């Protein structure tokens, strides 16, 4: 486990504390490493059982104890991952459970912390209408601090231009990697799917965390409500949500279903994340993919 003293944590910022608490809480009761391999770093002995490979027997331990033990090692996974965080204006939407962007920050920070715990290399991309930050994946505590500090000082900004930015990014990422996208995916469907396909065409593994507020999914509004376009300043509209609700829900559910189904067809690992769900659900989904492929 990664360790920081309290004074260092205070210096690193709030997001480091959040990530550490989320990950260490999540890993409580979980085996130290879900990935077992045989590489550089020695992990532990365990008793030999019929069926184990003889080449992994610790012959020195046999000489000392007259018992057969297997040497187990923690796998050097050498995973390279890019956390791609949508910082466009629509991610600023704040319902009862905080903003979508804050939720995405917590998920990204926790995943970065967890990856370092597993000795994987993690990088960060933030964007709105264009790339804002692009940090190359590395596996070190100092690098984690840089990633989390960048996440912490990022604020959601301009209009959505997901497809254009993702196409540009696909052209820039030369080495095969795991791409973990955190976005509300508010863009035209066809160009959005083409951009996802571009990532897959470049042979990247893609995990899409579709971050949505429950209010967007359920549309619980009853009274006349003023809706504000978070991506175009000053664009407001007063509407009767009762009249809109049925059509809105039909269109929104159709959008989510089309995105999910087409993403899975191109072997993009799609998961809907609601901001009223525990953040560590994303950690479980990520680890499940790492273990089961």
Look at residues 16, 44, 74 and tell me which one is the last residue of a structural domain: 74
Q: Are residues 136 and 51 in the same domain?
A: no
- What mean pLDDT is predicted for residues 164-171? 96
268 exposure class (CB count in 10 Å sphere: 0-12, 13-18, 19+): buried
Q: Are residues 123 and 267 in the same domain?
A: yes
- What mean pLDDT is predicted for residues 96-105? 93
Residue 161: what pLDDT? 80
pLDDT tens, residue by residue, 44-75: 555 655 555 666 677 777 777 777 666 654 44
Residue 37: what pLDDT? 36
Q: Which residue has the higher pLDDT, 119 or 267?
A: 267
For residue 234, pLDDT beyond 60: no
Of the given ranges (65-69, 112-116, 143-147), which has the lowest mean pLDDT? Answer: 65-69
Q: Are residues 63 and 160 in the same domain?
A: no
- What mean pLDDT is predicted for residues 233-238? 54
Q: Are residues 94 and 236 in the same domain?
A: yes
- 30 lies in a domain? no
Q: Are residues 50 and 86 in the same domain?
A: no
What total of structural domains would you count in the chain? 2
For residue 224, pLDDT beyond 70: no
Of the given ranges (28-32, 59-63, 167-171, 214-218), which has the lowest mean pLDDT? Answer: 28-32
Residue 170: what pLDDT? 96
Q: Are residues 86 and 218 in the same domain?
A: yes
For residue 222, pLDDT beyond 60: yes
Q: Are residues 69 and 84 in the same domain?
A: no
Mean pLDDT of the chain: 81
Residues β-bridged to residue 272: 210
- 173 lies in a domain? yes
For residue 247, pLDDT beyond 80: yes
148 exposure class (CB count in 10 Å sphere: 0-12, 13-18, 19+): buried
For residue 93, pLDDT beyond 80: yes
- What mean pLDDT is predicted for residues 245-254? 88
Buried b (16+ CB within 10 A) or exposed e, 213-240: bebbbeeebeeeeeeeebbeeeeeeeee
- What mean pLDDT is predicted for residues 88-105? 92
Q: Are residues 152 and 226 in the same domain?
A: yes
Q: Are residues 187 and 69 in the same domain?
A: no
For residue 134, pLDDT beyond 50: yes
- What mean pLDDT is predicted for residues 223-240? 52
Question: 239 falls in which pLDDT band (50, 70, 90)?
Answer: low
Residue 36: what pLDDT? 40
DSSP per position, 74-91:
E-----EEEEEEE-SGGG
Q: Which range marks the domain in which residue 179 is found?
A: 80-292
Q: Are residues 116 and 240 in the same domain?
A: yes
Question: 292 falls in which pLDDT band (50, 70, 90)?
Answer: low
Residues β-bridged to residue 199: none
Residue 35: what pLDDT? 39
Q: Are residues 135 and 247 in the same domain?
A: yes
Q: Are residues 146 and 288 in the same domain?
A: yes
Residue 55: what pLDDT? 65
For residue 26, pLDDT beyond 90: no
- What mean pLDDT is predicted for residues 193-219? 95
Here the CATH number for the domain that contains residue 116 is 3.40.50.410
Residue 138: what pLDDT? 93
DSSP letter at 164 equals H
Q: Which residue has the higher pLDDT, 115 or 159?
A: 115
- 254 lies in a domain? yes
């Amino acid at each position: 486990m990664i360790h920081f003293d309290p004074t260092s944590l205070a210096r690193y910022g709030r997001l480091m504390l959040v990530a550490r608490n989320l990950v260490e809480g999540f890993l409580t009761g979980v085996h130290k490493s879900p990935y077992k391999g045989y590489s550089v770093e020695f992990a532990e002995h365990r008793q030999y059982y019929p069926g184990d490979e003889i080449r992994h027997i610790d012959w020195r331990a046999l000489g000392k104890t007259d018992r057969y033990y297997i040497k187990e090692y923690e796998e050097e996974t050498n995973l390279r991952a890019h956390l791609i965080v949508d910082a466009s204006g629509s991610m600023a939407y704040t319902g009862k459970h905080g903003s979508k962007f804050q939720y995405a920050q917590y998920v990204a920070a926790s995943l970065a912390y967890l990856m370092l715990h597993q000795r994987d290399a993690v990088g960060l991309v933030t964007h709105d209408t264009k790339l804002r930050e692009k940090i190359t994946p590395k596996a070190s505590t100092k690098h984690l601090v840089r990633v989390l500090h960048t996440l912490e000082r990022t604020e959601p900004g301009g209009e959505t231009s997901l497809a254009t930015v993702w196409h540009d990014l696909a052209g820039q990422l030369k080495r095969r990697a795991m791409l973990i996208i955190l976005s509300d995916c508010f863009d035209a469907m066809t160009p959005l799917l083409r951009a996802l396909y571009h990532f897959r065409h470049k042979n990247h593994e893609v995990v899409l965390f579709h971050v949505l507020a429950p209010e967007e999914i359920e549309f619980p509004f009853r009274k006349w409500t003023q809706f504000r376009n978070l991506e175009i300043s000053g664009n407001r509209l007063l509407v009767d949500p009762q009249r809109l609700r049925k059509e809105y829900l039909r269109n929104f559910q159709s959008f989510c279903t089309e995105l999910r189904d087409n993403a899975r067809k191109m072997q993009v690992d799609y998961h809907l994340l609601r901001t009223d769900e525990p953040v560590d659900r994303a950690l479980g989904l990520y680890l499940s993919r790492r273990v089961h492929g």
